[in-house]
Amino acid sequence: MARPLRIQYENALYHVTCRGNERKAIFRDDHDKSLFLELLNDGLKTYHINLYCYVLMDNHFHLLLETPLAKKRTRF
C-alpha cells in the first residue's frame, strides 16, 4: 500500500529527522557529512526551501525547514 501524499503549506515550518536503523551510524566520517550537506544544498535550491538550522550526528540528523512556495492543494 502506498503512503499518503505529504501535504505542504506555504510558509510552514517542518522539523525533519532521520535516524539509522537500530541507532546505527548513517555517516561514516566527516566526508560523508560534507557530501550530505552538498546534496542537501542542491535540493534546497531546486525546491526553493529555506533551511534555518541543522544538526548532523553520526547516527541521525535534524533539519528545520520552511516551504515558502508550497503548492496549493484542493480539498476534496
pLDDT tens for 17-27 read: 999 999 999 99
For residue 73, the model assigns a pLDDT of 54
For residue 76, the model assigns a pLDDT of 47
CB 70 within 8 A of CB 9: yes
Of the CA atoms within 13 Å of residue 16, those in its CB half-sphere come to 17
Find all residues with CB under 8 Å of 50, minimum gap 6, and list them: 44, 65, 66, 68
Put simply, whether the predicted model's pTM sits higher than 0.75 gets the answer yes
Instruction: Say which residue, 34 or 3, is predicted with more confidence.
Output: 34
Q: Report the percent of the chain where pLDDT is more than 70.
A: 87
Q: Report the percent of the chain where pLDDT is more than 90.
A: 67
For residue 36, the model assigns a pLDDT of 97
C-alpha cell of 72?
Answer: 496549493
CB 18 within 8 A of CB 60: yes
